[in-house]
Amino acid sequence: GNSVTQMEGPVTLSEEAFLTINCTYTATGYPSLFWYVQYPGEGLQLLLKATKADDKGSNKGFEATYRKETTSFHLEKGSVQVSDSAVYFCALSEGSWGKLQFGAGTQVVVTP
């Protein structure tokens, strides 16, 4: 079956540091890949997505590239802010029906 593996957290960074969160997946077909973000006490929001190999998703300074050869979708941001403190979830879906398979989530804490 499909699965998503994320690096464990928490990840603690200083403001303006570079952030990378690793995500790898296993899938039988050609999934779409997503990063969702959850701020404290809130639901999940879509951060970015990529629907085919070599696509790069980007939003709010975050980027992730769909790497089929390494089955990875690592999230990066060049300079984090305190407001980026949240839990980040990598997820995949196959087909058009929208069922998502999530990783366990990575908590990111950014300190001033």
Partner 1 sequence: DAEITQSPRHKITETGRQVTLACHQTWNHNNMFWYRQDLGHGLRLIHYSYGVQDTNKGEVSDGYSVSRSNTEDLPLTLESAASSQTSVYFCASSRSTGNGNTIYFGEGSWLTVV
Judged by the rule CB under 8 A, the positions of this chain that interact with partner 1 are 4, 32, 36, 42-46, 49-51, 89, 93, 95-100, 102-105
Instruction: Rank residues 17 and 27 by Cβ distance to partner 1 and give the closer one.
Output: 27
Instruction: Rank residues 18 and 30 by Cβ distance to partner 1 and give the closer one.
Output: 30
Terminal Cα distance for the chain, rounded: 41
Please, what is the minimum distance in Å from the beta carbon of residue 99 to partner 1?
Answer: 6
Please, what is the minimum distance in Å from the beta carbon of residue 6 to partner 1?
Answer: 8
Q: Are 28 and 92 in contact (CB under 8 A)?
A: no
